[in-house]
Amino acid sequence: MRRRLMLLAPALAALWLTGCDSDKPAFRNTDVTGADFGKGFELTDHNGQRRTLADYRGKVVTIFFGYTHCPDVCPTTLSEMAEVMRLLGDKAERVQALFVTVDPERDTQELLASYVPAFDRRFVGLYGDPESTAKVAKEFKVFYQKVPGSAPGIYTVDHSAGSFAFDAKGRVRLFIKHGQGAEPLAQDLERLIDEG
């Protein structure tokens, strides 16, 4: 019996130490802290200025890849993020939501400037030429593919539906699954804000 207790002691100690950290709540979204992707981008915002991830250092940043002609996932994601900003109240000023288009052929600066801020005036639309769009999507491990429609110029774009969150130091921290509601994301972003 004593031998068994001695063998169990290290395991019990490990469980006890793990329990000491249990007052720190887990993220509701997928924690990808330390991931080796999403290190940055260089794109143009809907005001015509060149932007990089470093421009938003000091803020918690969310990034979603989509397109303005999207019939479902994109508007619901942006609407959900607008609700997150409302839930955060004054803390929302420390969050920057970015929308990166995967449809550079149709999503012009003017279209992004009218579409993206319509969900929340603080949201920023980003675009690039086809090559830079592909480069950024690859860096973030985002899939997108044009699906031809009934005529030239009429098409949809299949694309990844998740988003990413970065802490104020510019490190990727969360993968945000589409469609889970605003409250879990607001809680996670508030935690990242409080980390500083």
| Residue list, annotated binding site for Cu cation | 70, 74, 159
d(CA 126, CA 86): 22
Residue numbers belonging to the annotated binding site: 70, 74, 159
d(CA 59, CA 68): 25
**Buried b or exposed e, range 28-38, using 16+ CB within 10 angstroms:** bbeebeebeeb
Q: How far is CA 50 from the centre of its chain?
A: 20
* CA contacts within 13 A on the Cβ side of 75: 7
